[in-house]
Amino acid sequence: MSRRSAPLAAALLAAATFAACAKGDTHRAPATTGDSAASPGQATADSTTAGGEVAASSAGAPGGGRAPNLNGRIPVLEYHVIGGEKNAMYTRTVASFKADLEEVYKRGYRPINMSQLLDKDFRDVPPGMSPVVFVFDDASPEQFSYLGEAGKIDPNSGVGIWLDFAKSHPGWKNRGTFCMLNGGAAGHNFFGDGPKFKGQQKAWRFQKVQWLNQQGFELCSHTLWHARLDKYSDAVVQEQIARNVMGIDSAVPGYRVRSFALPYGIWPKNRALAWSGSWTDPKSKKTVTYKFDDVMEVSGGPTRSPYDPAFNPHSITRIEAVGDDIRKTLERLDATNNRFVAK
Ligand SMILES: [Zn+2]
């Protein structure tokens, strides 16, 4: 969510104290200097689950066959809740989300993770086509829910829609970046932490996070409960981020979190703490350090290419999935011939 989400922000804040005191998970100190294991998904067993196919030629595919442009811009799309009756600032209906997927597909975009963008890893984008990064903020149950039992993915949750879309759209892989909360209100805790929130169970949280990683999606930090980082001391800022990274590490031990999305797009007073810092757990006395390779803002349009000399990974701009903004942005990129095209 961005700075315009006052009601949800208030709700998140209201639950924060409780979340901060009530968390009983055991955490391991995350690896901070880990080698980049099986890229891009960091899944240990079978990282080729979704990415093993060779990128096919784009000749003849809708939107493909363009001249390479490695300095062009890359759309990074920002989603919050997927569902509801009508579109709002932080809600994209199922119908609109499906339409967005169709729109980018027919224009010749293929999904990659933010970490792949950083690494100039465009293996999942056939030559003549363009990368797009889908980013899902806040870890709401609407993004990823189970129907009644663990592992049975709700076809109307964001992930279920994504999987269905992939079945009928060749070349559409499980790539996307989930910037998660692990102690937010309203079930914004690894996609739902109780039956009140779309019937989700607390015990399913880690399984969902693990599944995302195994499938090739990227796990990204978004703080513990969505604190407005400019309002807090350096110590609290680092605690908010470190405890989020600890939570991800509890679900997927050893996972190196590389991406961070600023809550509300608001920087802490000490900017550098958004990408690097540490916090010592008073209980275990363990120090958790974090060092992100990128920081995502809330808006700002399509982001620069990693080949662009002005590319700044600590300021990745995004396009909020609001109204017609995505379609208009893609149209503008084509009209100005300023679109990244893989070679
Ligand atoms: Zn958010």
Dump pLDDT digits (tens) for 65-95. 999 999 999 999 999 999 989 998 899 999 9
Residue 59 CA to ligand 1 centre (angstroms) = 38
Pick the CATH number of 6-20+57-235+260-275+294-335 from 3.30.930.10, 3.20.20.370, 3.30.360.10, 3.10.310.30: 3.20.20.370
Residue 61 CA to ligand 1 centre (angstroms) = 35
Using the predicted structure, report yes or no on whether residue 17 has a pLDDT greater than 90.
Answer: no
pLDDT for position 195: 95
Residue 13 CA to ligand 1 centre (angstroms) = 12
Residue 337 CA to ligand 1 centre (angstroms) = 31
pLDDT for position 265: 97
Using the predicted structure, report yes or no on whether residue 271 has a pLDDT greater than 90.
Answer: yes
Q: How far are the Cα atoms of 28, 36, 141 from residue 255, in angstroms, in the given order?
A: 11, 9, 22
In tens, the pLDDT along 102-128 reads 999 999 999 999 999 999 999 999 999
Residue 17 CA to ligand 1 centre (angstroms) = 18
Question: Which residues on neighbouring strands pair with residue 76, listed in sequence order?
Answer: 133
This model of the complex carries an ipTM of 0.99
Regarding predicted confidence, which is higher, 260 or 57? 260
Using the predicted structure, report yes or no on whether residue 37 has a pLDDT greater than 60.
Answer: no
Using the predicted structure, report yes or no on whether residue 167 has a pLDDT greater than 80.
Answer: yes
pLDDT for position 9: 44
Sign of CA dihedral 189, 155, 50, 174: negative
Nearest residue to 79 (alpha-carbon basis) of 7, 34, 135, 125: 135
C-alpha 183: how far from its chain's center? Answer: 17
Using the predicted structure, report yes or no on whether residue 310 has a pLDDT greater than 80.
Answer: yes
Using the predicted structure, report yes or no on whether residue 57 has a pLDDT greater than 90.
Answer: no
Q: Spell out the domain ranges in the chain.
A: 6-20+57-235+260-275+294-335
Looking at 48-52, 92-96, 146-150, 162-166, which range is the least confident one?
48-52
What percentage of residues in the chain have a pLDDT greater than 70? 83
Residue 228 CA to ligand 1 centre (angstroms) = 10
Cα torsion 289, 295, 296, 300 to 10°: value is: 160
Residue 166 CA to ligand 1 centre (angstroms) = 26
Residue 69 CA to ligand 1 centre (angstroms) = 32
Q: Give the mean model confidence (pLDDT) for residues 319-337.
A: 96
Q: How many angstroms separate the CA atoms of 42 and 35, rounded?
A: 10
pLDDT for position 327: 97
What percentage of residues in the chain have a pLDDT greater than 90? 80
Regarding predicted confidence, which is higher, 107 or 48? 107
Using the predicted structure, report yes or no on whether residue 59 has a pLDDT greater than 80.
Answer: no
Residue 83 CA to ligand 1 centre (angstroms) = 16
Two tokens, residue 94: 């199922």
Using the predicted structure, report yes or no on whether residue 56 has a pLDDT greater than 60.
Answer: no
Q: Give the mean model confidence (pLDDT) for residues 47-52.
A: 42
Using the predicted structure, report yes or no on whether residue 290 has a pLDDT greater than 70.
Answer: yes
Residue 137 CA to ligand 1 centre (angstroms) = 5
pLDDT for position 3: 46
Residue 138 CA to ligand 1 centre (angstroms) = 5
Strands 276-280 and 287-291: antiparallel
